Chain A
C-alpha cells in the first residue's frame, strides 16, 4: 500500500516536471500580451494585435498567445510578467505605460524582447533612449498626441474663444504633456483657462458640470483614460450646454464627445502586431528598431452631439478640412 502511494507520488511529480518542460515546436512563437486595465482604447489595441498575429499564423509562423489584464494592480502585474517569463515567451507585449515600464524592469537581465503599445511619452518616462534608436530590448508604438492640431480644429470653429476648459485626471501620466502644451497654446492666444480634474467617474461628472457653470466655450481633454471612462456620463451635460468637447482619441467620440482627434487605436494595435511579427520572423534587432509614432490625421465627429450643440455638420466639415487628413463621422455607440 505504502509503496503504491510512493510510486504514485513519483509518477505525478514526473508528469508535473514533464508538463513544465514540454518542448516548443520550432516554428511557433510564444507571445505574452498584458493589458493594463479594461478601457475602450486599450482593449481595441489588444484585440487588433491578436488579430494580426492570428492572421499571420494562418500563412506563416504560428503564435501561441497568452493574454492577461492586470486591472491596474501593480503586484499582480509583476506576477503576470513573471508567469510569462516562466512560460518561456519569446516576446512580451506591454499595453500602456505602467506595463511597459514593468516589463522593462523584469527583462533587464534576461533580455526578452518587449514591444509596447500606446506609451504616450516613451523617452520622457525613460523606456527608450530615443525614438529612432531605443537602445535596449524594448521598442513599440507611441500614441503621442499632437495637441496643437486639436486646438487648430477648435479655433477653426471658434476663432477667438474667451474661456476654454481643460478636463483631465491628474493621476494619468499620458495627460501631463498635452495639458502643459494646451496651457501654453491658450496662453499665447490670450484665452482664459479653466482647469477641472477628477480621479474617477463621479468626480469627472462634477468637474464637467463645474466647467459648464463657469461658462467655458469649449472643453479639451487629451487621451485620458479616466475621462474616457466617464464620457458617456458627461457628454449630454456638455452638449445641452452647447459646449463642444474636443478630445484626444476617436473612442471619445464613440462615447458621445463632439470630436475625437488623434490616434486610431485599432490601427495602432495592427501596427504593434506587425512589429511583433517583423521582429520575430525576421530576427530584427530591437535596440535599433525605431519607435513608431502616428500621423494623427483623422478627425472623428459625433453627428448626434454636433446637431445637439447646434453646429451644421457640413459647415464643420468644411472648416475642419484644412487641418486634418480625413474626417469620419459616427453616432454614439449603444454597445461596445
Chain B
C-alpha cells in the first residue's frame, strides 16, 4: 500500500514542479494571449543553467541563475515579436530551436549532467527534515513552499496597475493602445516573467530527478497547456489566486492520469495519446457538460439534433 501511495507522491511532485511552468503559461497564454512555444527550450535552459551552477557549489544561486537565464530567453522572444514583428508562434519556435544549441553549450558540450551527489535545495531540506514526520515528504515541502511564493507573486502582480495593463493587452489590444499604455513594454515584461518561471520549473525538475538532460523539457508545452486547460475547468469565474490554484490542480491531475495508466500496465508510448484525449476532453467539457447532465435529450441535441430550445 505504501508503494501504491508513493507513485501518487511522485506524480504530485512532478505535477507540482511542472505546475510552475503551467503558471508561466497562465500569464502568457491566458492573460497575455500569447502562445509561447519557446517553453520547452526555456524549461531545459533552466534545468541546464541550474545544474551547472549547482554543480559549481551554489545550490541557491542556481535557482536565481535559472530564473535570470529564462528571463533573458523571454526577452529575446518578446523582442522578436514586438520589435522585429515576427509572428508570436514563429518567434517561440525559433527561440526554442536556438536554445537547443545553447543548452548543449551551457552543459559543457554534453547532453546530460549527473546531480546525484550535488547539493541542492532538495538535499538541504532532506537533511533538515530527516528526523521529523516530514522525513519522506521533503520534496513536496520544498515545492509547496516555492509554489506558495510563486502564486502570491502572480496574484499580487496581476492586481497591480501593471498587471491590469498586462491582462488588458491580452484582452483588447486596441483599447490598451488608445489608453496610452505601451503594449510593447507590457509584452516584453510579461514574457520575461513567464519564461523566468518556466526556467525555475525546469531547474527544480533537474534537482528533483537529480540529472539534467537535453530532453528534460521536451513536450512540456503540451503538458502545461493540457494542465492549464484541465485547470480552467475549476474556478472558472473566480479570482486570480483561485484560477492559479486551478492551474496547479490541473498539473497534478494530469500526472495522476499518467500514474493510473501505468498502473494498468499501459505501455508508456500511449501516454501521449492519453494526454491528447485529456486536452480534447478539457476543451470540449464546457460544451458537453450541460447536455450530458440533461440526459439522452441533451446528448441528441449536442450531436446535430434540431435546436428547438
Contacts and interface: CB of A to CB of B under 8 A. Distances in A.
Contact of A97 (B112, B263, B267): B112
B166 interface: no
Nearest to B112: A173
A82 B18 contact: no
A65 to B, nearest CB: 11
Contacts of B268: 68-71, 73, 76, 80
Given A79-B14, A105-B210, A69 B267 contact: yes
18 contacts: A20-B4, A21-B1, A70-B268, A74-B205, A75-B18, A75-B209, A76-B258, A78-B10, A78-B209, A80-B268, A85-B7, A98-B112, A101-B114, A101-B116, A102-B211, A104-B116, A173-B110, A173-B112
Most buried by B among A20, A86, A101: A86
A212 B258 CA distance: 46
Given A68-B268, A79-B7, A105 B259 contact: no
A183 to B, nearest CB: 13
Interface in B218-253: 218-219, 223
A83 B9 CA distance: 11
B259 A74 contact: no
B10 A79 contact: yes
B104 interface: yes
Interface in B105-119: 109-112, 114-117
Given A82-B6, A83-B262, A101-B112, A75 B117 contact: no
B21 to A, nearest CB: 11
B85 to A, nearest CB: 28
A87 interface: yes
A72 B214 CA distance: 10
A42 interface: no
Contacts of B152: none
B10 A82 contact: yes
A72 B223 CA distance: 15
A319 interface: no
Contacts of A80: 262, 268
Contacts of B269: 69, 71
Nearest to A104: B116
B265 interface: yes
Contact of A74 (B4, B213, B265): B213
A127 B210 CA distance: 12
Contacts of B182: none
B216 interface: yes
Nearest to B223: A75
B281 interface: no
B14 A105 contact: no
A108 B109 CA distance: 28
Contacts of A69: 267-269
Interface string A43-86: 00000000000000000000000101111111111111011011
B3 A88 contact: yes
User: Which of B110, B205, B265, B268 gathers the greatest number of chain A CB atoms within 10 Å?
Assistant: B268
A38 to B, nearest CB: 8
Interface string B1-30: 101101101110010001000000000000
A44 B269 CA distance: 18
Given A71-B269, A86-B4, 14 more contacts: A20-B1, A66-B265, A71-B268, A73-B215, A74-B218, A78-B10, A79-B255, A83-B259, A87-B3, A102-B209, A105-B115, A105-B209, A108-B116, A127-B114
Nearest to A71: B269
Q: Which of A74, A76, A79, A170 has the most CB of B within 10 A?
A: A74
Contacts of A325: none
Given A101-B116, A170-B104, A173-B111, A72 B215 contact: yes
A124 to B, nearest CB: 9
Interface in B251-280: 255, 258-259, 262-263, 265, 267-269, 271
A85 B6 contact: yes
Given A79-B7, A126-B117, A72 B218 contact: yes
B79 interface: no
